[in-house]
A and B are shown apart, each in its own frame.
Chain A
Amino acid sequence: MTDTAVAPPTKSDQPRTPTSPLARLRDPAWYQRYGVYVAVAVVLLFNALFTEHFMTADNFRTQLVQVAPIVIVALGMALVIGTEGVDLSVGSTMALAAAFLPLYLGYGLVPALVVSLLAGAVVGAVNGALVSLVGLQPIVATLALFVGGRGLALVMADGQLKQIVNPDLLSLGTGSFLGVPLVVWIAGVLAVAVAFLVQRTTFGRQIVAVGGNRSAAALAGLPVKRVLIGVYVLCGVLAALAGILATARLTASDPSSLGTLMELSAITAVVVGGTPLNGGSVRVLGTVAGALLMQLLRATLVKHDLPDSTAQIAQAAIIIAAVYVARERRSR
Chain B
Amino acid sequence: MNETKPVTVAPAPEPTKTPAARPAAGPEQTGRQRAAELLQRQGVLAVLLAVVIAASFIYPTFASLDNARGVTIQASFLAVVALGMTMVIITGGIDLSVGSVFALGGVLAAWASQYGFLAALLLPLVVCGGIGLLNGLLIARGNMAPFIVTLATLLGARGLLLSLTDEGATTYLVPKDSAFGELGQGSVWGFGHPILIALVLFGAGGLVLQRTSFGQTLFAVGGSSDAATLMGLPVARTKILVYTLSGLLAGLAGALNAARLSSGVTIVGVGMELDAISAVVIGGTLLVGGAGSISGTLWGVLLLAVIQNLINQIGSLNSSYQSVVSGGFLIVVVVAQRYLARSRRST
Pairing of A with B: yes
- Bound-state CA distance A140–B320 (Å) is 21
A217 near B: Cβ within 8 Å? no
Identify which of A86, A147, A310, A324 gathers the most chain B CB atoms within 10 Å of its CB. Answer: A147
When distances are taken between beta carbons in the complex, the residues of chain A under 8 Å from B149 are 320, 323
B interface, by DSSP: helix, strand, loop or mixed? helix
A155 to B160, CA, bound (A): 34
Stretch with Cβ within 8 A of A (4 or more), from B67-75, B114-122, B248-256, B323-331: B323-331
The answer to whether B327 touches A140 (Cβ under 8 A) is no
Q: Which residues of the partner chain A approach B330 to less than 8 Å between Cβ atoms?
A: 140, 143-144, 147-148
> By the criterion CB–CB under 8 Å, are A155 and B321 in contact?
yes
Q: Which of A19-27, A104-112, A175-183, A311-319 contacts B (4 or more CB under 8 A)?
A: A311-319
Q: Is the CB of A86 within 8 A of B327?
A: no
- The A-contacting residues of B in range 272-319, CB under 8 angstroms, are 274, 277-278, 281, 287-288, 318-319
Q: Does B56 contact A (CB under 8 A)?
A: no
Interface residues of A in 133-163 (CB under 8 A from B): 134-137, 139-141, 143-152, 154-155, 158-159
Give the distance to chain A from B127, nearest Cβ to Cβ, in Å: 14
Known: A144-B334, A149-B327, A327-B144. A320 touches B163 (CB 8 A): no
| A330 to B326 Cα, complex, angstroms | 37
Given contacts A319-B148, A320-B152, contact A307 B167 (CB under 8 A): yes
* B153 located at the interface, meaning its Cβ lies under 8 Å from any Cβ of chain A in the complex: yes
Question: Which of A31-39, A191-199, A202-210, A263-271 lies at the interface with chain B?
Answer: A263-271
* B241 at the binding interface (Cβ < 8 Å): no
Q: Does B347 contact A (CB under 8 A)?
A: no
Say whether A151 contacts B148, CB under 8 Å: no
Is B155 located at the chain interface by the 8 A CB criterion? yes
Cross-interface CB contact of B287 among A139, A144, A311, cutoff 8 Å: A139
**Partner pick for B148 among A141, A154, A158, A323, CB 8 A cutoff:** A323
Kindly state the separation between the CA atoms of A95 and B177 in the bound complex, as whole angstroms: 43
Tell me whether A316 and B153 are in contact (CB under 8 A).
Answer: yes
Q: Is A14 interfacial (CB 8 A cutoff)?
A: no
Sample of 9 A–B contacts (CB below 8 Å): A139-B287, A140-B281, A143-B281, A144-B331, A148-B330, A151-B320, A267-B151, A312-B156, A320-B144
**Which residues of B are at the interface with A, using a C-beta cutoff of 8 A?**
94, 138, 142-145, 147-149, 151-156, 158-163, 167, 270, 274, 277-278, 281, 287-288, 318-328, 330-331, 334-335, 338
Closest 7 pairs (CB-CB, A-B) = A148-B327, A151-B323, A312-B159, A316-B156, A309-B162, A154-B320, A313-B159
